[in-house]
Amino acid sequence: MNIALAGNQNCGKTTLFNQLTGSNQHVGNFPGVTVDKKEGVVRGRKGMTVVDLPGIYSLSPYSSEEIVTRDYLIREHPDAIINIVDAGNIERNLYLSLQLLNLDIPMVIALNMMDEVRANGGTIKTVEMSKALGVPVVPISASSNEGIGELIEKIQYVASRRIKPVHVDFCGGAVHRTIHSITHLIEDHAQAIGAAPKFAATKLAEGDTLMLESLHVSENEAETIEHTIVEMEAETGTDRKAAIADMRYAFIEKLSHATVVKPAESRQHKQSVAIDRILTGKYTAIPVFLLIMALVFWLTFGVIGSFLSDLMGTGVEFVTQTVTNALLSSGANPVIISLVSDGILAGVGSVLSFLPTIITLFLFLSLLEDSGYMARVAFVMDKLLRKIGLSGKSFVPMLIGFGCSVPAIMSTRTLTSERDRRMTIFLVPFMSCSAKLPIYAMFTMAFFPKHSALVMIILYITGMALGILTGLILNKTAYKGHPVPFVMELPNYRLPSPKTVVLLLWDKTKDFLQRAFTLIFVASLVIWFLNTFGPGLNTVTNSDDSMLAGIGKVIAPVFAPLGFGDWRASTALITGLAAKEAVISTLAVLTGSGSAGLVTTLSEIFTPLSAFSFLIFTLLYTPCVAAIGAYRNEMKSTRAAVVMVFFQIAVAWVAAFIVYQVGLLIIH
Amino acid sequence: MKLCDLEVGTQAKILAVNGQGALRDRLLDMGLTPRTKIMIRKTAPMGDPIQLSLRNYELTLRLDDARNIDVEQVEVI
């Protein structure tokens, strides 16, 4: 038995899904799109799976996520629909319900957040509402696990007996007559393509040309339909789309007047408006935003994250030591020992030590997202981002990019438009990630000790400026197209349930571990292999003779025009692909100076100008394998990832070239 | 009168939603249908977008898009 869970955004859908399934869920993909498909078995009901569909406001979809929901409901023929409705926001929520009822699929309405309605002194006459809508209505409170048992009973009942919604006419007059006569006319056509006649008829009455095409009606019938609709427009004095929307809302207003008792304005709503006086206030919004983000970054990278990362690092080190010692004492081949400890454990381990930071960052971000604050950030920042053709919703991923590109790229899933998403992912790496900070620190210490802060600020600003420039260009070229309307709900502030947060973090951890043990595992092996063996597949004692150094020497001339044609610099850039921190450690190894002496030995390879050019290159060139992997995952395309890699190398090369050559001109 | 011309704090009734395509569909779907009462809650710190209160919830849209909506101011007694 397959149950679809559908509802508006911000109505507690994920919370209900978690209550229904517990941890008994897995994430897959809807065919052909990047939208996650969360599925799970209902607790205690083997054979009853529920799919968490992306939130929608109507069956006329706008974003790729919404199209997924519509297509799933129409094409996959679920056995039943649980339509979750926010009882505190009932008018707009029921608008979707009325459309779902037309689908002729067994359905139960779950009236969520009833606890809040009751706390505000209100009630909803669910029996009357159920009669008026022709489907069972179950009051629940997903966050406190109320009414879930009854909901499961009801959905099982309607699904197993295939009890379709009782036909209710939502309207009288012209709209009713139009839909009625169109239904009559197209009934056979609709059944032939497996569509619900009333749904198809309502779509036609709205003027949906795609539906008209897919029904294969004759020319005569099409004319009759058009004629009926034109008559309806004349009689209602408005156009078809507005007439239907108006009809639905008029019915809902009447229904909620009869069934919803609301003595006072909702306390949650009042509270939210009060909180927004500060969080989106004219003078306070931006300072508070900066403060919140600073706090999140400080806690993530400074306090909690670094503490956990150190702990993880110690753990990884301990495992590495233990394994290496065990191998040594067992008298294993030194190459094998090196493979395990320098290759696998060092590579995967260095990435694993990022895990706590990333999870901590995600914890804060999900708190900000689920509480409703991210919608406010989008509201406040929209005007700024619109200049490069994006909406306010893209602001948050870019911000996270300053921490780490990987979670930043992953967080673009919340964006509603596929175009905005792709473009945002493309721009994220321009925000200099925190792993590059050690490189900047080392180089500024060596070459610009008096102006280190200034140099760093210049680097960050250069990244952002080139990001904006790229955005402007993309907006006019590759990602030209239809910006999605920025019409967004600002939901009431709400504390996310611990269960939802925990499950989300677990999800992210699994995601990350999976990547660490596949992609990064392989990448570490490759780099270890190149660094350990010489061109004749002989093991080398000095990394000077390794294949990695060989490759570094081959590509070194490419960097000569940028001022750092030394092979050690180019080799460091290659290992930087594994993780940006490796740039420094590689330079330390190759110059034979150790990280302490690196400040002095760097001047053997670089001049201040070429050092700056090197920093510019580091800032802009391809991010680490983890980021490339995330990019590939999100774009669902290896080709896109390859294009991205070369694009970034090209940008970095050109920028560093300009810096170096112009710098030379100025000096001479 | 256009929705974008209303001052913060004023209440109004929607007369018609003009324009076309996805944007208009979205506005209608979100409940901006004729005769709906709305209130201009605020504008974003940079002056755009705006925040409306309607049907017991808060909605934001851009000034450019608000130009498509005809309204009639409601006198508050």
The answer as to CATH 2.30.30.90 being correct for domain B3-73 is: yes
**A280 contact residues in B (CB cutoff 8 A):** 42, 44-45, 51
- What distance in Å separates the CA atoms of residue A52 and residue A274, rounded to the nearest whole number? 32
| pLDDT (0 to 100) of residue A29 | 63
The CATH number fitting domain A2-160, selected from 3.40.50.300, 3.40.50.1000, 3.50.50.60, 3.40.47.10? 3.40.50.300
- What distance in Å separates the CA atoms of residue A535 and residue A554, rounded to the nearest whole number? 13
Tell me the average pLDDT across A558-585. 87
Report pLDDT digits (tens) over A399-429: 888 877 887 887 787 676 778 888 999 999 9
The CB density around residue A659, as the number of other CB atoms within 10 Å, is 21
- The token pair at A230 is 């034109």
Residue for token pair 């420094």: A584
**pLDDT > 90? residue A225:** yes
Tell me the average pLDDT across A423-448. 88
Q: Identify the architecture of domain A173-261 in CATH.
A: Orthogonal Bundle (1.10)
Q: In this complex, is the C-beta atom of B46 within 8 Å of any C-beta atom belonging to chain A?
A: yes
Write the burial class of residue A342 (CB in 10 Å: 0-12 exposed, 13-18 middle, 19+ buried).
middle
- Domain limits of chain B? 3-73
Question: pLDDT: is A289 or A172 the higher one?
Answer: A289
Backbone φ and ψ of A137, nearest 5°: -120, 120
Residue in B30, B33, B41 nearest the CB of A246: B33
Report pLDDT digits (tens) over B7-31: 999 999 999 999 888 889 989 999 9
Q: Do A285 and B45 touch (CB under 8 A)?
A: yes
Question: pLDDT: is B31 or A266 the higher one?
Answer: B31
Q: Do A92 and B55 touch (CB under 8 A)?
A: yes
Look at A311-315, A652-656, B23-27, B63-67 and tell me which has the smallest mean pLDDT. A311-315
| pLDDT (0 to 100) of residue A359 | 81
**B17 contact residues in A (CB cutoff 8 A):** 242
Q: What percent of chain A has pLDDT over 70?
A: 95
Per-residue burial over A326-335, b = 16 or more CB atoms within 10 Å of its CB, e = otherwise: ebeeeeeeee
Question: pLDDT: is A251 or A30 the higher one?
Answer: A251
Q: By three-state DSSP, how is residue A567 classified?
A: helix
Residue for token pair 């009455």: A205
**A482 contact residues in B (CB cutoff 8 A):** 22
What Å distances lie between residue A66 and A53, A61, A82, A226, CA to CA? 9, 5, 17, 28
Query: Of the candidates A81, A232, A56, A84, which has an alpha carbon nearest to the alpha carbon of residue B29?
Result: A56
Quote the mean pLDDT of chain A.
87
- What distance in Å separates the CA atoms of residue A53 and residue A11, rounded to the nearest whole number? 13
- The token pair at A529 is 């292999």
Residue in B29, B42, B59 nearest the CB of A280: B42
Q: In this complex, is the C-beta atom of A308 within 8 Å of any C-beta atom belonging to chain B?
A: no
Single pTM value for the model:
0.83
Question: pLDDT: is A64 or A295 the higher one?
Answer: A295
**pLDDT > 80? residue A397:** yes
Q: In this complex, is the C-beta atom of B65 within 8 Å of any C-beta atom belonging to chain A?
A: yes
| pLDDT (0 to 100) of residue B77 | 59
Residue in A90, A238, A379 nearest the CB of B60: A379
Q: Do B34 and A242 touch (CB under 8 A)?
A: yes
| pLDDT (0 to 100) of residue A481 | 66
Tell me the average pLDDT across A222-249. 93
Residue A264's closest chain B neighbor by CA?
B56
Q: By three-state DSSP, how is residue A306 classified?
A: helix
Q: In this complex, is the C-beta atom of B42 within 8 Å of any C-beta atom belonging to chain A?
A: yes
| pLDDT (0 to 100) of residue A31 | 59
To the nearest whole angstrom, how far is the Cα of A194 from the nearest Cα of chain B?
Answer: 25
Tell me the average pLDDT across A197-211. 91
Look at A119-128, A338-347, A388-397, A588-597 and tell me which has the smallest mean pLDDT. A588-597
To the nearest whole angstrom, how far is the Cα of B47 from the nearest Cα of chain A?
Answer: 8
Residue in B45, B56, B61 nearest the CB of A282: B45
To the nearest whole angstrom, how far is the Cα of B55 from the nearest Cα of chain A?
Answer: 7
Query: Of the candidates A303, A173, A283, A285, which has an alpha carbon nearest to the alpha carbon of residue A238?
Result: A173
- What distance in Å separates the CA atoms of residue A582 and residue A233, rounded to the nearest whole number? 68
Name the A residues in 236-265 with CB < 8 Å from any B CB: 238, 241-242, 245-246, 249
Q: Do B23 and A379 touch (CB under 8 A)?
A: no
Q: Do B25 and A238 touch (CB under 8 A)?
A: no
- Per-residue pLDDT band for A451 (boundaries 50, 70, 90) equals confident
| pLDDT (0 to 100) of residue A64 | 67
Residue in B24, B31, B49 nearest the CB of A486: B49
Question: pLDDT: is A269 or A344 the higher one?
Answer: A269
Tell me the average pLDDT across A34-45. 82
**B57 contact residues in A (CB cutoff 8 A):** 89, 92, 269, 489-491
Question: pLDDT: is B33 or A356 the higher one?
Answer: B33
**pLDDT > 80? residue A36:** no
Tell me the average pLDDT across A101-127. 94
| pLDDT (0 to 100) of residue A100 | 96
| pLDDT (0 to 100) of residue A155 | 96
**pLDDT > 80? residue A318:** yes
Q: What percent of chain A has pLDDT over 90?
A: 44
**B13 contact residues in A (CB cutoff 8 A):** none
Q: Which distant-in-sequence residues (6+ apart) come within 8 Å of A16 by Cβ?
A: A5, A82, A84, A110, A112, A140, A142, A148
To the nearest whole angstrom, how far is the Cα of B68 from the nearest Cα of chain A?
Answer: 13
Pairing state between β A260-261 and A123-124: antiparallel
**pLDDT > 90? residue A505:** no
Q: In this complex, is the C-beta atom of B63 within 8 Å of any C-beta atom belonging to chain A?
A: no
Query: Of the candidates A194, A490, A529, which has an alpha carbon nearest to the alpha carbon of residue B42?
Result: A490
Report pLDDT digits (tens) over A515-565: 667 766 777 778 778 878 887 777 777 767 888 888 888 999 999 999 999
| pLDDT (0 to 100) of residue A357 | 74
**B48 contact residues in A (CB cutoff 8 A):** 382-383
**pLDDT > 80? residue A126:** yes
Q: How far apart are the first and last CA of chain B?
A: 20
Residue in B26, B41, B48 nearest the CB of A485: B26
| pLDDT (0 to 100) of residue A519 | 67
What Å distances lie between residue A23 and A17, A43, A448, CA to CA? 10, 9, 53
Tell me the average pLDDT across A379-386. 91
| pLDDT (0 to 100) of residue A475 | 86
Host H or E run for residue A488: strand A488-490
Beta strands in A62-166 (DSSP E): 80-86, 107-112, 123-124, 137-139
| pLDDT (0 to 100) of residue A227 | 94
- What distance in Å separates the CA atoms of residue A317 and residue A343, rounded to the nearest whole number? 13
**B33 contact residues in A (CB cutoff 8 A):** 242, 245-246, 249
Q: In this complex, is the C-beta atom of B37 within 8 Å of any C-beta atom belonging to chain A?
A: no
Look at A218-222, A331-335, B56-60 and tell me which has the smallest mean pLDDT. A331-335
| pLDDT (0 to 100) of residue B9 | 93
| pLDDT (0 to 100) of residue A351 | 66
**A383 contact residues in B (CB cutoff 8 A):** 44, 46-49
Q: In this complex, is the C-beta atom of B30 within 8 Å of any C-beta atom belonging to chain A?
A: yes
| pLDDT (0 to 100) of residue A482 | 64
**pLDDT > 90? residue B33:** yes
Mutate to test the interface with A, among B57, B61, B64, B70 (most CBs of A within 10 A): B57
Whether ipTM > 0.90 holds is yes
| pLDDT (0 to 100) of residue A636 | 81
Q: Do A238 and B36 touch (CB under 8 A)?
A: no
Residue A59's closest chain B neighbor by CA?
B29
Cβ–Cβ pairs < 8 A, chains A and B: 114
| pLDDT (0 to 100) of residue A513 | 79
Question: pLDDT: is A159 or A439 the higher one?
Answer: A159
Per-residue burial over A501-533, b = 16 or more CB atoms within 10 Å of its CB, e = otherwise: bebbeebbeebbeebbeebbbebbebbbebbbb
Q: Do B62 and A382 touch (CB under 8 A)?
A: yes
Pairing state between β A36-41 and A25-29: antiparallel
- Per-residue pLDDT band for A44 (boundaries 50, 70, 90) equals confident
**A95 contact residues in B (CB cutoff 8 A):** 29, 31
Q: Do B24 and A241 touch (CB under 8 A)?
A: yes
Residue B56's closest chain A neighbor by CA?
A89
Tell me the average pLDDT across A153-158. 96
Q: In this complex, is the C-beta atom of B36 within 8 Å of any C-beta atom belonging to chain A?
A: yes
- Per-residue pLDDT band for A469 (boundaries 50, 70, 90) equals very high
- The token pair at A247 is 């009809």
* Dihedral sign (CA A443, A445, A449, A451): positive
Per-residue burial over A208-219, b = 16 or more CB atoms within 10 Å of its CB, e = otherwise: beebbeebebee
- The token pair at B20 is 């076309």
To the nearest whole angstrom, how far is the Cα of A363 from the nearest Cα of chain B?
Answer: 26
Q: Do B29 and A280 touch (CB under 8 A)?
A: no
- Domain limits of chain A? 2-160, 173-261
Q: Do A242 and B27 touch (CB under 8 A)?
A: no
Q: How far apart are the first and last CA of chain A?
A: 78
Report pLDDT digits (tens) over A625-666: 888 888 888 888 889 899 999 999 999 999 999 999 999 999
